[in-house]
């Protein structure tokens, strides 16, 4: 069982930056692939980024490539999402998720989810 708690969301102007954190409980954090997803009002949840359990292998949605960076610190049981050059269309609730398998964009592969943190980007 893994419990995930996101933090770091907030209101920021377009062009600004935020760093989201996701703290995980349990001693098996390092064995999970971690992902970030987001959901805007009236839209489906969409993949943002993911990183393999040992780090190294990552994947990003095309819409965030070059602006967002996923990282993890297995000693702190934490995964991060650094978001730069934010745009109004990045406004959404951001969720972190854990997957015992490989890096994937498919949300159904992720077994554990946090409660989400709101990111609002004003124009």
pLDDT tier, 27 (very low <50, low <70, confident <90, very high otherwise): confident
Residue written as token pair 């965030």? 64
Q: What is the mean pLDDT of residues 19-34?
A: 92
Q: Cβ(67)–Cβ(83) under 8 Å? A: yes
Q: Cβ(63)–Cβ(54) under 8 Å? A: no
Q: pLDDT tens across 98-123, in order?
A: 999 999 999 999 999 999 999 999 99
């Amino acid at each position: 069982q893994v419990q995930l708690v996101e933090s770091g969301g907030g209101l920021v102007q377009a062009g600004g930056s935020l760093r989201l954190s996701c703290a995980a409980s349990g001693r098996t954090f390092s064995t999970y692939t971690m992902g970030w997803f987001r959901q805007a009002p009236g839209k489906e949840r969409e993949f943002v980024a993911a990183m393999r359990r040992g780090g190294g292998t990552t994947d990003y949605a095309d819409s965030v490539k070059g602006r967002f960076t996923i990282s993890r610190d297995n000693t702190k049981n934490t995964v991060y999402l650094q978001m730069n050059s934010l745009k109004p269309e990045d406004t959404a609730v951001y969720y972190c998720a854990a997957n015992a398998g490989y890096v994937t964009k498919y949300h159904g592969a992720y077994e554990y989810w946090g409660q989400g943190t709101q990111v609002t980007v004003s124009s």
